[in-house]
Structure 1
Amino acid sequence: SDVFSLIVTLVAVSMLWSIFRLFRVASRAGGFNAFNQLKMARFTIVDGKSGKGIGFKDVAGMHEAKMEVKEFVDYLKNPDRYLQLGAKVPKGALLLGPPGCGKTLLAKAVATEAQVPFLAMAGSEFVEVIGGLGAARVRSLFREAQARAPCIVYIDEIDAVGKKRSTNVSGFANAEEEQTLNQLLVEMDGMGTTDHVIVLASTNRADVLDNALMRPGRLDRHIFIDLPTLQERKEIFEHHLKGLKLIQDGSFYSQHLAELTPGFSGADIANICNEAALHAAREGHKSIDTSNFEYAVERVIAG
């Protein structure tokens, strides 16, 4: 009986060892694939080649900013004109300004006008606790961009990955953030004039960005997108009023609403128009009138 028990024990141990080895092999394969997935950049792609996306005509206001980015549009559409003259077009631009002023909208419009792909990724998507993933995602993003060139790479809220490099209290730098930023700088430096990849990035915290990111040859063009002026607010209202069922024509409301909303961003104005429509629906109105807009303005101001 002792021999039989020993044999049973050995068989059981052998089976458990075999199962354990199979589990390890499967785990390694699955883990490797999962890690490779983690290294891939999580960007969104908008195909601007059709020219049917958001264009400059859809971006109300921002007159000066639109004039500045048109140089990138012209370069992406006619690169040979610049290369033949030996001109070095800026590799990228930094869109600065308060939240909700249309920085992302303007970047999308550039891609549509130039009829090139638009690869967008949030700065926070690069940041991970696991070391090396941020840099791997930067490489993945630019590898995809070069494969799709000519194109535009857009990094929203770049301050999440481009903060000034400094040491913390213990005297050690944040290695993962620095490694990610360094890789971003390397990728931008590696882009030649014939790569036809333009990098646009946005932030509302330019003061925290590393100086190396903004030196010539990287994000050396700085385009400030401020809160809209009175005239620009009027234009933005007219744009958003087009899709609403109004008692009067949109121009009847736009000037009055623009005067009621100093300091409002484009996103605030879009919110007002939507709130007015919601209020009219709740009240059982068949069309939107001035009282609905005034209610919406007060609601947005109150938060």
Structure 2
Amino acid sequence: MNSTVKTVLFWAVIILSVFLLWQVVQRSTANHEDQISFTQFTQKIDAGDVQAVEITGSEVHGKLKSNQAFRTMIPASYPNLVDEMKQHGVSINYKAEGSGLWLAGLLNFAPIVLIAAFWFFMIRQMQTGGNKALSFGKSRARLLSMQQKKVTFKDVAGVDEAKEELREIIEFLREAQKFQKLGGRIPKGVLLVGPPGTGKTLLARAVAGEANVPFFSISGSDFVEMFVGVGASRVRD
């Protein structure tokens, strides 16, 4: 997936999330209903205060002439209620049970799902590609593939003394078990000192090439972080 498609999907998710969140807020504001008892409901009908009702099974949603919304439950043993409402000029609308429930559920839960998907998308974006914002504790070392051109001492001009000193390290890397059986301890590392551009990294690659072992490359600045312990974590990683 290229960057253009990712950008379009990113903004589409944000716009859809904002729209659905706005719909939920609008519905919650518009559907602010007072719960009243059935007795209060019949009293308001007799007083002529009820403007319109919507009946869904035993549940009634309505609006008073003062534009105040309300809801109540009607008992099954009250067959004359509809006739009484008609006599008082109440507008009656019937709605089948279950209709619109899936849409209401979707509007209620869609923002949560979309926000979760948005955060999942953002985390994936920050953990993949060139952006490693959430993986600051991970090592940034690059492994040079064994299929790449192998660098040996023949590719390094000069520094004959350094090459001779490093040949012992190469023997350690090639036949570590032989030295361990003799009680030898493999060196933990070698410090190459010199100004930038003098071939220190090339010499290290040549050591790996001569010993036929993988070569990892990392800059010293990658170990410096504002978080305490991150540099040490990268060394261990």
Normalising by structure 2, we get a TM-score of 0.47
- Which is richer in helix? 1
**Bigger CA radius of gyration:** 2
Higher relative contact order (CA 8 A, sep 6+): 1
